[in-house]
Structure 1
Amino acid sequence: MNKPEKLNYVEFSTKDLAATKQFFARVFAWAFVDYGPEYTAFSNQGLNGGFFQADLASTVASGGALLVFYSADIKATLAKIVQYGGVINRPVFEFPGGYRFHFIEPGGNEFAVWSEGCA
């Protein structure tokens, strides 16, 4: 349900639209709807959004927003990310509330994953 004045949609640039789609489909089971050759949308992932083809991508170092996934098993999620082409750019570390790591998906965008535990 759309709620007035609440975050509703997020768009990311990606250097490789096909690789980004394949990565998120494999790691997080996302489905996409293509709107032409340079845009794809996703929904039902906590926040709806899309990716568009561009020469740039979003990282924390460049001032980009960091979107953080939750995982019930942070080690299993990390293993899937690496298996399907993600690069861990900040290994698992402890922070108040749990554990977290950062990764770069094949299209160049940085995301993070957190969990309460790190068994």
Structure 2
Amino acid sequence: MARISYVELPVTGTAPARDFYAQAFGWNFTDFSPNYAATTGGDVDLGLNGSDDQAITQVLVLVEVQDLEAALAKVEAAGGEIVVPVFAYPGGRRFHFRDPAGNVLGVFVNEG
């Protein structure tokens, strides 16, 4: 079953954001690159995206699915517009879409 399981925040400088959330809420982060850190193991995890090549400009809600290609087809059939085609990242693949109301969300599958 598809579920919201990840929220990604755009940040400038992963370390200051990571340190803030660790101090404010006691969250532990894993650094996946110099520009990306995330909590792991929560019901809904938080990613801090300071990436240049896969940068986001607003909060990005991510839906986890079992079959990425099937989800892509369903999103398109329902009227969603693919704004970032499927791409791989360490541990999985995802795409971003715009819903009919203009909201941009991501859909991902873990493969690691």
- TM-score norm. by structure 1 comes to 0.46
Which has a greater percent of strand?
2
- TM-score norm. by structure 2 comes to 0.48
